[in-house]
Amino acid sequence: MSRQLIAGNWKMNGTRQNAQGLAQALVARLPADAADVVVCPPFTLLPLLADSLAGTALALGAQDCHKAPSGAYTGDISATMLGEFGVSYVILGHSERRQGHGELDDTVREKAIAATKAGLTPIVCIGETEDQRESGDYTDVLGWQIKGSLPDNFAGVLAYEPIWAIGTGLAATTEQIAQTMLFLREELVRQFGEAGKAIKILYGGSVNADNAAAILGIPEVGGALVGGASLDADAFLSIVSAASAA
């Protein structure tokens, strides 16, 4: 059974001073038998943390990348550039990118291809809105997001984040997560065949120290994409410990 993956998405948070302190606290207290752990800070902190995390068990990730390796794309960062700073994972298609920046499935797919070519592991996010969940259309929505966002021969990680649970403090129930995870696994196998059985699926959406053990113990949950709790060393390490015990 593969190790779980715990990814901390710092979003637009962190200064040089507090980022350094958080990273040092995580490295010093990371359990020896921990799950695979990655932190994804803002672009501005990547050079600093690349030095701090070099040679440690804590991996470095980014929050986005462009589909092109270089070019006239003001304000963008390529996967190739990220790789130069020791970045090994990159979050793509987060709902905050899809909703706030108009990213479509095709865009996410192209970014995933670029990330893989650059040697990074893409963490591709999908998720439904509250209306889609309540209407019962969420399985169709998730199925189409998988089809549109994941390239052929996808070798990355899928992250399921119900949009209605992100940053709201309202996590899906264990029953909802278990049902959706089973559907996602079946859909991955349907679309990718035998390879779909090996794609790791993370859960994200108000994961915290209190609910992590229950969530990470659900079949087909291969880890967590953690938002706010990843900014607190104690809370994040509690989630890592829960993953190690799952």
User: What angle in degrees, to the nearest 10, is found between the helix axes of 138-149 and 174-192?
Assistant: 40
Catalytic residue among 94, 96, 103, 220: 94
d(CA 200, CA 223): 8
d(CA 90, CA 217): 25
DSSP alpha helix (H) spans, 123-173: 130-135, 138-149
Our answer to whether residue 96 is catalytic in this structure is: no
d(CA 246, CA 242): 6
d(CA 33, CA 161): 26
Our answer to whether residue 94 is catalytic in this structure is: yes
Which string of b and e fits 79-98 if b means at least 16 CB within 10 Å? Answer: bbbbbeeebebbbbbbbbbb
d(CA 153, CA 150): 8
DSSP 8-state class, residue 29: H
Q: Which of 216, 231, 172 is nearest to 34 (CA)?
A: 216
Please indicate if the annotation marks 10 as binding a ligand: yes
Please indicate if the annotation marks 11 as binding a ligand: yes
Catalytic residue among 96, 103, 161, 220: 161
Q: Which residues are annotated as a binding site for substrate?
A: 9-11, 167, 206, 227-228
Residues serving a catalytic function are: 94, 161
Q: Which residues are annotated as a binding site?
A: 9-11, 167, 206, 227-228
